[in-house]
Amino acid sequence: MPRLSKSNNMIQNKKGISDVVATVLIIMITIAAVAVIAGFVVPFVRNSLQKSTECAAYKSYYIFDESFGYNCYNGNTHSISIKASFDKSLAENVGGIKVVFSDKSGASKVVEIKNDSVSSQDEGGISIKGKPGENLRIPGPGGVITYAYSALAEEHFLSAEVYPVLKNGRICADSKESIDLMACRD
């Protein structure tokens, strides 16, 4: 009978871990994996999903209101009436609104309106129509506010768009509403 070398003998006699220990190890690894998924992956996916859809609810949240007949321009003063939806739960997350004025060449100007920001009737400034001294504010749930934007001498805008800016800084540009501005009748 041939004699086995010492190294061959060691390989032949090597023992693995027992079935019980292997099972316990697999269960522990599974529990650890579940804990990691529950702790990091699930909140991450939920957060990502929430971020990617948070603007969806704001579709048509702001619209141009026609009840005052003031979506128009008179010289360099461009007036727009913006109405908010009645949904109070959505209103809580709105930090401001952006209004984009565009001219016929496609050039545009963005004006941001936030609560308590300073109004101005100077060129390039915006104020609440009929209340020029008051600070700006955004329409509350269901409310309508008419703003007057004093364009620069060379600016003549023919359309406007409005969309909400959320308190976390997210700009919901896909939720915009637009209107063509006419010459004011008065």
Partner 1 sequence: MNKKAISPVIATVLLISLVVVLASIIFLWARAFIPETIQKFDSPIADSCARVVFEASYSNGVITIQNNGNIPIYGIQVGIKKGFSIEYSEVTPATIVTGGTGDYDVSGASIKTDDELVIVPVLLGKTSNGELKGYACSDENAKIIKVQ
Sequence-ordered alpha helix ranges (H) in 14-86: 19-36, 42-53
119 touches partner 1 by CB under 8 A = no
Cα 49 from chain centroid (whole Å): 13
Of the candidate spans 12-20, 102-110, 114-122, 141-149, the one that interacts with partner 1 by CB under 8 A turns out to be 141-149
Of the candidate spans 10-18, 64-72, 160-168, 173-181, the one that interacts with partner 1 by CB under 8 A turns out to be 64-72
Of the candidate spans 93-101, 140-148, 163-171, 173-181, the one that interacts with partner 1 by CB under 8 A turns out to be 140-148
Tell me how far apart the alpha carbons of residues 9 and 165 are, in angstroms, rounded to a whole number. Answer: 75
Q: Which of residues 16-55 bind partner 1 (CB under 8 A)?
A: 45-46, 49-50, 52-54
Q: Which of 140, 156, 159, 166 binds partner 1 (CB under 8 A)?
A: 140
Strand bridging mode 72-74 / 94-102:
unpaired
68 touches partner 1 by CB under 8 A = yes
Q: Which of 70, 149, 157, 163 binds partner 1 (CB under 8 A)?
A: 70
- Alpha carbon distance, N-terminus to C-terminus of the chain: 118
Q: Which of 177, 45, 164, 145 is nearest to 93 (CA)?
A: 164
159, HSE (Cβ side, Cα atoms, 13 Å):
13
Of the candidate spans 9-17, 21-29, 78-86, 149-157, the one that interacts with partner 1 by CB under 8 A turns out to be 78-86
Strand bridging mode 94-102 / 108-114:
antiparallel
Q: Are 138 and 84 in contact (CB under 8 A)?
A: yes
Joined together, the tokens standing for residue 33 give 């994996």
81 touches partner 1 by CB under 8 A = yes
Report how many residues bind partner 1 under the rule CB under 8 A: 28
Question: Contact positions toward partner 1, by CB under 8 A?
Answer: 45-46, 49-50, 52-54, 56-57, 59, 67-68, 70, 79, 81, 86, 128-131, 139-146
